[in-house]
Chain A
Amino acid sequence: MLTKRIIACLDVDAGRVVKGVRFLNLKDAGDPAELASAHSEAGADEVVLLDITATHEKRNTLLETVRRTARQLFIPFTVGGGVRTLEDAGAIFDAGADKISMNSAAIANPSLITEIANRFGSQAAIVAIDAKRNYNDNGKTDGFEAWVQGGRKQTGHDAVTWARQAEDRGAGEILLTSMDRDGTGQGFDCALTKAVADAVRIPVIASGGAGSAQHFTEVFQHGHADAALAASIFHFGLRSISELKQQLQNAGIPMRCAC
C-alpha cells in the first residue's frame, strides 16, 4: 500500500540549518548534511532543503551545501529557494537534487513550471505555496491567500486557485505551508490543506505547525494530505521520526516503518 510520507525539512541560511517562528526569529539548528543523514537513518521518507535567504551572492554556497547533503542521501531530496530560471534548476539538479521547489518565481513567471517539467519531468517540479488566512469584517476566515518572498509579500492570488493552475502547468506536487501555523507547534492548518488537496489530483505536502503525533494524524485523516513536512519538531529532538511513525501506524495511517 502507498504510504503517507513524513518529510524532514531543513531551512538553510548561508550553509547552516536555522528555524524560526512564523518565518521570523531564526536560530541555528546545525549542519545540513549531518542533519539530512540523521533524518534518513531515523526513518524520514524524504528530505527537503529550503534556502530561505537565497540571494545571487549565496548561490555557490547553496550548491556546495546541496552537493554535500546529497552525497550520503539515498532517499528523495528536494531543494528550493531562489530558483528563478531553468539554469538555476539545472545547476541544483546537477548538484544532486531530485526535485526542485519553486515559489516566488512560479507566481511571477508560471511558464517556469512548464519549462522545468518538460526538461526534468513533472515529478521533479514542485510548486511551494505559502498561504495565509484572510479574514472578513466579522473576523471569520475568508479564503487563503498565497504570499511570496519568504512570506513578506502578498500576491492577491487565492491559494486553491493557484494550486490548480500550478497543476495545469505541469507541477508534480504541491508543498503547502500555512504561514499562520509555521513554527508554532499548534498543528497543521487542516482546513487549508483539505481545500487544496481536494482541488488537485497531484500529491499535496502539508507544512507548518507540526507539534505532536496527533497533528500528523489529523492532517492525513482530515486534511487529506499525502505527505507532511516538519522541521523544528525533528531538529530539537522533540520526537524521533521512528517513534512518530510508529504512533501514526498504530492510528491506522499507512507508514513505511522499520518496525
Chain B
Amino acid sequence: MIAVVDYRAGNLTSVKKALDKVGADSVITADPKIVSQAEKIVLPGVGHFSATSHLTDSGLRDAIVNAIQRGVPFLGICVGLQWMLESSEEAPDVPGLGIWPGECVRFPASVKSPHVGWNQLELRDKPSRLVQGIPSGSYVYFTHSYRVPLLANTVAECEYGGRFSAVVEQDHLFGVQFHPEKSGTIGLTLLNNFCSLSTSRDCDPIILTEQNAD
C-alpha cells in the first residue's frame, strides 16, 4: 500500500487518481501510523514551502524519516522534492529534510514566474529506475516559483532562466519538480515505474545527520 501524505497543502485528489490509473493501491492519509506501515510513500505538494512545517508539528516528518531509514521508497513531488533539500528561500526558517544539500531559490527576474506549463526533461547519462522508458526531451507539466539547483544525484534537468533539477534520484529516494499526475502518459509512466519498485530490495539506508534529522 502506498501512503499519499496529506499535510494540508493543496490538492491530493489528482495524485491519488493517477495512482489508481496505474493500478496502485494507495491511501491519502495524515496519520503518522499509516505512513509508518506503508510500503511506499508519496509526498505531493503544491503551494508554499512553509506548509511543510505541518509535517514536523504533526509527527509525519518523524514517520517519514523512520520509513526512509528502513529503505521504504519515497517520492517527493514539487514542494515534496524541495522539502528533501536543506531549505528554501521561500521560507528560510523552515528546515527541509536535508537528504540532499542545497537551497531552493527563486527564478531570476529575467523570466516570468511562476514557471507554468510544459517543458522538456533533459536526461543525464545516468542509470535511473524512475525515468526508465521515458525519452530525453519528453514534455512534462511544471508549475513552481522556486527551483532545486543541479545536484550530484540529479538524473534529469530542465531549462528555464537557467538549468535546474527536474528529477533527483538516490537509491530508494526520488524527487520530481514537475507534476507526473498532470503530465499525461509520460507522467503515468513515471508513476508506474515508482509503483513497480520492489519494496524488498536491499539498499543502503540513508543516514541523516543528527542536525538534518531534527
Q: Which residues of B contact A1 (CB under 8 A)?
A: 119-120, 159
A74 touching B117 in the complex, CB below 8 Å, given contacts A1-B159, A98-B14: no
The reply to whether A3 and B143 form a contact with Cβ atoms under 8 Å apart is no
Interface SS majority for chain B: mixed
Report Cα–Cα, A2/B113, bound state, in Å.
12
A96 touching B114 in the complex, CB below 8 Å, given contacts A1-B120, A1-B159, A256-B139: no
A7-46 vs B, CB cutoff 8 Å, 1 = contact: the mask equals: 0000000000000000000000000000000001000010
Nearest to B113 among chain A residues (CB) is A201
A45 touching B10 in the complex, CB below 8 Å, given contacts A74-B183, A121-B46: no
Report Cα–Cα, A27/B188, bound state, in Å.
35
Report Cα–Cα, A77/B21, bound state, in Å.
17
Report Cα–Cα, A70/B14, bound state, in Å.
8
> In this assembly, does A202 line the interface, its C-beta being within 8 Å of a C-beta of chain B?
yes
> In this assembly, does B144 line the interface, its C-beta being within 8 Å of a C-beta of chain A?
yes
A45 touching B117 in the complex, CB below 8 Å, given contacts A74-B181, A74-B188: yes
The reply to whether A3 and B139 form a contact with Cβ atoms under 8 Å apart is yes
List A67-96 residues whose CB lies under 8 Å from chain B.
70-71, 74-77, 93-96
Q: Which residues of A contact B143 (CB under 8 A)?
A: 76, 123, 172
Report Cα–Cα, A33/B90, bound state, in Å.
37
The reply to whether A75 and B182 form a contact with Cβ atoms under 8 Å apart is yes
Interface hub of A71, A75, A95, A201 (most chain B Cβ within 10 A): A75
Contact of B14 among A5, A96, A173 (CB under 8 A): A96
Report Cα–Cα, A202/B120, bound state, in Å.
20
Report Cα–Cα, A5/B114, bound state, in Å.
15
Q: Which residues of B contact A201 (CB under 8 A)?
A: 112-113
List B96-121 residues whose CB lies under 8 Å from chain A.
112-120
B1-29 vs A, CB cutoff 8 Å, 1 = contact: the mask equals: 00000000111011001100100000000
Q: Which residues of B contact A146 (CB under 8 A)?
A: none
Report Cα–Cα, A124/B143, bound state, in Å.
9
- For A, the interface residue count at a CB cutoff of 8 angstroms equals 33
The reply to whether A123 and B118 form a contact with Cβ atoms under 8 Å apart is no
List A181-221 residues whose CB lies under 8 Å from chain B.
201-203
Report Cα–Cα, A109/B48, bound state, in Å.
23
Nearest to B109 among chain A residues (CB) is A201
Q: Which residues of A contact B117 (CB under 8 A)?
A: 2-5, 45, 203, 226-227
> In this assembly, does A122 line the interface, its C-beta being within 8 Å of a C-beta of chain B?
yes
A124 touching B17 in the complex, CB below 8 Å, given contacts A1-B119, A3-B139: no
Report Cα–Cα, A3/B57, bound state, in Å.
39
The reply to whether B119 and A3 form a contact with Cβ atoms under 8 Å apart is yes
Report Cα–Cα, A37/B141, bound state, in Å.
17
> In this assembly, does A234 line the interface, its C-beta being within 8 Å of a C-beta of chain B?
no
B100 → chain A closest CB, angstroms? 23
B178 → chain A closest CB, angstroms? 11
Contact of A173 among B116, B145, B160 (CB under 8 A): B116
Nearest to A257 among chain B residues (CB) is B139
> In this assembly, does A162 line the interface, its C-beta being within 8 Å of a C-beta of chain B?
no
> In this assembly, does B184 line the interface, its C-beta being within 8 Å of a C-beta of chain A?
yes
Report Cα–Cα, A122/B113, bound state, in Å.
11
A-B pairs with beta carbons under 8 Å apart, 6 shown? A74-B17, A74-B184, A74-B187, A74-B188, A76-B143, A202-B113
Known: A71-B17, A74-B187, A121-B48. 11 other contacts (CB 8 A): A1-B159, A5-B118, A76-B143, A93-B11, A121-B9, A123-B46, A123-B116, A172-B114, A172-B116, A201-B113, A203-B116
Q: Which residues of B contact A (CB under 8 A)?
A: 9-11, 13-14, 17-18, 21, 46-48, 112-120, 139, 141, 143-145, 159-160, 179, 181-185, 187-188
Query: What are the 10 tightest A-B residue pairs by CB atom distance, in nearest-first order?
Result: A121-B47, A123-B143, A256-B139, A256-B118, A121-B46, A2-B119, A3-B118, A93-B11, A203-B116, A96-B13
